[in-house]
Amino acid sequence: MTCAACAARIEKVLNRVPGVAATVNFASEKARVSVNRNVGVETLIDAVHKAGYQARLVTAGTRNEEQSRRAAQYANEQRHFWIAFALTMPLLLQMPLMLGGSHAELLPRWLQLALATPVQFWAGRRFYIGAWHALRGGGANMDVLIVLGSSMAYLFSAAVTLWNLPHHVYFEASAAIITLILMGKLLEARARGRTSAAIEALIKLQPKTALVERNGEPVAADVSTIRAGEIFVVRPGAAMPVDGVVVDGASSVNEAMLTGESVPAAKAAGAKVFAGTINEDGLLRCRATGVGAATALAAIIRMVEEAQGSKAPIQRLADSVSSIFVPVVVGLSIVTAAGWWLYTGNFANGLINAVAVLVIACPCALGLATPTAIMVGSGRGASAGILVKNATALEAAGKLDVLIVDKTGTLTEGRPQVTDVVALGGRSTADVLQVASTLEHGSNHPLARAIRDYASAHDVTPLPMTAFKSAAGKGVRATEGNRELILGTPSYLAENSIMVTAPALDALQRSGKTVVAVAEGSNAIGLIALQDQLRPTSRRAVQMLAAIGIDTIMLTGDNVATARAIAESAGISRYSAGMLPDQKAEQVMAMKSGRRVVGMVGDGINDAPALAAADVSFAIGAGSDIAIHAADITLMRSDLISVVDAIDLSRATLRKIRQNLFFAFFYNVLGLPLAAFGLLNPVIAGAAMALSSVSVISNSLLLRRWKPAPQH
C-alpha cells in the first residue's frame, strides 16, 4: 500500500466478501478480519489480489519473513534513491535561474532527456506499477497522482525536445518529483518502523530455548516444545521461557515488561512467573502452566496488535475524505490546466500548474494521522502495564467525566484478613469456622480465601457438602448431612428469615470491617469480621483524578458503615453500599443517560456487568479473568494510579491525533489552492508532499516520551 486510498480500497473489497468484517491499517500494513466459518483465508487473499495487491496470513514465520523482506526492500529503495539523486542534481542546477525568472538552460536538452529518462522509468517504476494495480482493481491512489504529475511534465518536455518545439522543458520538475518522493518514502519507512518498535520489543522478550527437566536431567529445548506440566529451570539473568509456578528456589524477578513496575518481585515456592520476565539472582525450578499462545506475554502481544489494528471513531472523517481524495485532486488538476490555458493562452503554463496540483496533494498524511498515533500510544501503554483492547477504548478514556470504582481489590489491597470470629447461640468459634470453611470451599473470592486460610491456621477442616447454591453479591448456602448451612451478608440471612441482632455486629461494622454471618438451620451461629487495607496510593489517585476533572464514585456490595470508612479514607465523597452486580450496572447506565462519559474500574466477577455497561472499563490485572475479558483496558499493576496513567496516555494520544489531522487537512487545504493558482513550483510541491507524511509520523513518535506517574 502506498497511501490511505490503497487501504480504503482493500478494506472495501474485503468487506464485500459475504460474512466478512475487515479493517485495514495503512500504518502497520495489516488487515484485521472477522469472518464466519464458511470463509477461508484463501478467499480473503484472492479478494486482495483482485484489488491489485498482495496479502498473506500473519504467523510467527511470516512475521520474520516480512522483516527480512522489508529490510531488503528498504536497501533496494535506498539504491534507487541515490542513483536518482545523482541523475537529478545536474538538472536542478538550473533551478536558481528559473526561480529568478530566467529560463536559460545550462544543459543541452538531449542531455536533460538522457538524465531524466532513467529517473522517470527506472527509479519511478514502483509508482507506475502501483498506479496500474490500483486502476486495474477499480481504484485510484497516490501512485496515480505521482505518475500523472511526473509523466505530464516528462512527456511534454520530451516532445518539445524531440520535435524542437518553441517551449520550455521541465525535465528538472519530473525528475525532482520522483527523487523527492522516493526520499520521502525512505524517511517514512524508517519512521514507520519505529512506530511498531513496542510490539517488536515484546516479541523479542521470549527466549528461543529453555532448560527443561526430561528424564531427570535439565536439557536445552526449543521453547515451542515445552508442554504444560513440565519442569523448567531458570538460571540467574535468564528470561522465563513460559508461564509457570515456582516449585523450588527463591529469587527476585524483574516484571517491568509485564507491569511497568521497576522494583523486582520476590518469588518463592508457589509464586507465579511469566514468560519474558527476567530472573535476577536465584535459581528457580518451575512447573509450566501456560505455554505457546496461552502465556501472558502472548496475550499481551495479541491485545496490543488488536489495538494497533483497530480504528478510532475520530478517524472516520479522514477515511471519508481519503476515499474520494484522488478523484477530486485529478478533477482539480484538469480544471487548473484548462483554466490557465484559457486565461493565458499558454498550454505549458497550465500544464505545469496542473502538475503542481497533482504532486502537492497527499492522502498519505490523512491516512497516517490516526493509526500512527494509536500504534505508538498503545505500544507505549503496553510497556507501562496498560493494555488497551482497541482504539475506541483509547479514545473514550480521554473523554471521561465520571469514574466508578469498586472497593475490594480496587481501592483496597484485595487481601482481606479475618480479624474477629464471634460465636452466637452458645456455639463455639470452631463450629463457626468449620461451617464457614465448608461453605467457602472452592471459592476464589478474596473473602472466601481469607476465611479458608484462617480456618486452616486454626486446624479446622471443611466438611463434605451437597446442594450448593450461590447468590451473587449476597452469600452461599448448602446441605451438610441433615443440616442446612448458610453464609453471607446479614441482609442475605434476613431474606432467608434469619435475623442477626448481636450487639457485636454494629460495633464491627462501625470500625470499617466487613462482616459475614453464619447460620445453621434457622439460627445464626456466628459472625466473622474481615478487614482489607486501603492501598497506599488510592487516596493520591483520587486526588489526581479530581485534578484532571474526573469525579470518582465508589460502588460496593459491602455494608454502609464499612463503605463510609473506606470512602472517607480514600477521599471519596460519593458512594453507594449494598450494591448487587446488576445494581452496579444499572447505576452505570443511569449516569450514562445524563450524557456523561462514564468509566468503571473493577477486579471481580461481580464487577463484569458494570464493566460491560460502562463507556470505557478498566480491569485491575490481579483481578478475575472474567473482569479482564469484560474490560476495555487491562491494568497489569493493581493500582488505581494506573487508571490515571491510562487516562493521561489517552489524552496525550488524542492530542497527537488532532494535531496530525489538523496538519494533514491544513496542508492539503492550503497547498492545493496555492498550486492551482500557480504559486507553487512542482519541485517545491514534490518536496512538500514528500515531507508531509514524515512530519505526521514524527509527531506521533513524540508520544514515546510519555511517562506514567511515579508510584510513590
**Residues with a known catalytic role:** 406
Residues 463, 469, 473, 474, CA torsion sign = negative
Q: What's the rounded Cα separation, in Å, for the pair 634 and 619?
A: 5
Q: CB of 701 within 8 A of CB of 191? A: yes
Please choose, from the candidates 132, 164, 167, the residue with its C-alpha nearest in 3D space to the C-alpha of residue 148: 132
Dig out the grid coordinates for 433 from the structure: 469456622
| Phi then psi dihedrals of residue 527, to 5 deg | -125, 140
**Residue 637: CB atoms within 10 Å:** 22
Give the neighbor-by-neighbor strand order of the sheet with 278-279.
265-267, 251-254, 278-279
Return contacts of 207-210, CB within 8 angstroms, 24+ apart.
207/238, 207/239, 207/241, 209/241, 210/234, 210/241, 210/242
Cell (9 digits) for 295: 502465556
Q: How does DSSP classify residue 709? A: P
As a whole number of angstroms, the distance between CA 28 and CA 62 comes to 15
Contact 411, 538 (CB under 8 A): yes
Spatial distance between the Cα atoms of 529 and 561, rounded to a whole number of angstroms: 13
Rounded Cα distance, 455 and 449, in Å: 10
In sign, the C-alpha dihedral spanning 593, 596, 599, 604 is: negative
Q: Where are the alpha helices (DSSP H) in 465-521?
A: 490-495, 503-510
Computed on alpha carbons and rounded to an integer, the radius of gyration of the chain in Å comes to: 33
* Residue given cell 525568472 in the structure block: 101
C-beta separation of 233 from 268 below 8 A: no
Q: How far apart are CA 33 and CA 31, in angstroms?
A: 6
Residues β-bridged to residue 686: none
Work out the angle at residue 701's Cα, subtended by the Cα atoms of residues 696 and 705, and round it to the nearest 5 degrees.
Answer: 140
* Phi, psi (rounded to 5 degrees) for 493: -65, -40
Joined grid coordinates for residue 255 = 516484571
Query: Are 662 and 412 a contacting pair, CB within 8 Å?
Result: no
Which residues make beta-bridge pairs with 220? 211
Cα–Cα distance between 362 and 705 in angstroms, integer? 28
CA nearest to 379, candidates 309, 304, 320, 327: 304
Q: What contacts 362, CB < 8 A, 6 or more positions away?
A: 3, 142, 664, 667, 668, 671, 689, 692, 693
Amino acid at 93: L
Q: How far apart are CA 422 and CA 505, in angstroms?
A: 9
